[in-house]
Every structure is written in structure tokens, then in C-alpha cells.
Structure 1
Amino acid sequence: MKLLIIEDDINLASTLARRLTKQGFICDVAHNQSDALLRARQIVPDSILLDMKLGDDNGLMLIKPLRNLLENTHIVLLTGFASIATAVEAMRLGANDYLTKPIDMATLLKALNNETSELQTSIDDAVMSPERLEWEHIQQVLHSNDGNISVTARQLNMHRRTLQRKLQKKPVQQ
């Protein structure tokens, strides 16, 4: 099974490629958007492991061109900054799975092997922490403003730099 890993962190990309090769995948790596589209055309992968943050670029913007180029390829979006808004957007754009870092190899293999029935999680009745709720709300407003931090900060009645600091932090788990 051919796999294209699109990850800007060279060390993580090589580690993933090495580990997934041991699992039977034929791995190829790209570190930016233009290289990713070129490699995708050349190797026509069965699956793509796409990082959401590619340097200064957003991996979400790559989903639609990849989906248009490779209609039947399984696309797994991997992110360290998960939010409901980005998960919904990723699925709307054509990603098959949305996983958060750090991730264990078993979960990653299930996603890449398209074993989605075991990946789906049910929404439990637990209440979100205030910090997590704030993170989700910020992500939703930021998404509705097409990533414009200044407009989002004004809408949230928050200083722009404060918003930028909050966006640099990893989301709080439930």
C-alpha cells in the first residue's frame, strides 16, 4: 500500500516513514504544499497522511486539490491543534479521518487501513471544561472570519496579541 506523508517536521516525517514501512507501507515524504502535489501526481498513493500545519501554510488548503487529483485516496489529517471547527472543515473539504497528535501507532494504522468503525467515538455526556470551551469558541469564530486574527479579536472583544498567544497554545483536553 502506497502512502504519502505530508509533514513539514523532517524528523517526525522520517520517523513516521520508518515505522510505517515496517508495517508494510511503501512511504514517500513531502515537506511542503507544492512538493506534496507533485509527489501525489507521481506516485498516486492509496493513502495520504497530511499534517494540518505545514510551516506557514495550512494543510486544510491542500485537501481539496488532493481530493480533485486523487478521488479514491484515503486522506488522514493529523494535527496538534485540534478543534471541532477544523475537524468539521476537514471533513467538509474531503478528509476521511481527523486525528490529533500525539497519536499511537495502533490508532494511526486503523485510520490508514480505513478501519473507521473502530475509530469513531461517541459523544459522551461529559461537560467541557471552561478552557476547552473557550478554545472551541475561538476556533469557530476564527474559522468564520477565514483566519483573520484582527477581525476575530475584535469580535471576541480581546486584544489581538492576547488572541495570538491563546492560538499558540495547545488545546486543553476535556
Structure 2
Amino acid sequence: MRPIRAACLATTTALVTLLTCAPVAATATDTDSAHAKGKARVITLIGRLAQQTRFPVNPGGAPAQGDRTVFRSVLFDENDNEVGETGGTCTTTRVDNGGAEVCVVTYTLPGGQLEVQGMLFGILTGGLPTIPPPPFDNGITGGTGEFDRARGSVHAETIAPGTRRFTIDLKH
């Protein structure tokens, strides 16, 4: 079984590569409003994998270019309160040299949505999924509501099986 690559997040997979669930305390930091022009905002959330479906090019065979993973994770704040979800798709673009995927992910949060996309590298070790999945950074390409015209990045790291910490660095 290959790990989800996104979230990422699932989240995306993630994001992706967002795995089997295990409870972990959430950390959240939310400073200022991203909607005010020229402001920066950092949000830290914990994502727990809720659903994941894989669509391999070679079912039961080796990883291949074009393999796809679809995922959804539930997002939690510093008090372990559910605050949203993330969902997306990741597609394998390379299986040699550690493998790579391209992911497109939506983070649904109070006040709007964030759109994120980017590459994940090092998803395969010796032709098998890398466990735990490697950390990644993806770019924020836009959003809705209070995240309208948002830019910045999302850093994701696996902190337990099925659990990722997402640090969202918003620039507006």
C-alpha cells in the first residue's frame, strides 16, 4: 500500500500522503487577518486522514507515472476542535530518483477556502512508499472569503501515522 502524498492532506495530501489515524494534540496560531492588504498571518493546524482512495496505473504492481491518490483530512486547532477540512489529489510524475508527485489541494476553513498546489519529492524509497512520508512545501495560489487573493505557502510534516502538522504562512 503506498502512502498518500499530499495533503495533504491531506493534505493533500495531503495536501497528501496522509496515512492512518492516531490522535495528536493540535497546535494553532492565528495572528491578524489575511484579508487586510499588506498583512501576514500564520495558521498552524493538525490534519488527520479521514479518507483516501488510490487509483494505480498498474493495480497490484510497481508504482507508475500517472498513479493518483484522492484524499480528505479533518483539520483541528490548538484546542483539538475541528475547524475545517482539506482535500485534493496527487498524481505521480516520476518513479525514479525517489519519486515525485504534483498535488492540488483545497483547505476549507472558517472564513473561506485556500487553494494550494505544488510538488512532493522523495515519495518512494527503493521503489516502495517512503514511511513516514517526507515533509513538503506547497504554494498558495488563491482563495475565497477572507483568503481572497491570498498568497504564501503551506509547510506540511508528518507527526504521527495519519497525522500531519500544516503551517500556513499567508501573505496578502
* Higher RCO, 1 vs 2 (CA within 8 Å, ≥6 residues apart): 2
| Higher share of residues assigned strand | 2
TM-score by length of 1: 0.27
TM-score by length of 2: 0.27
| Higher share of residues assigned helix | 1
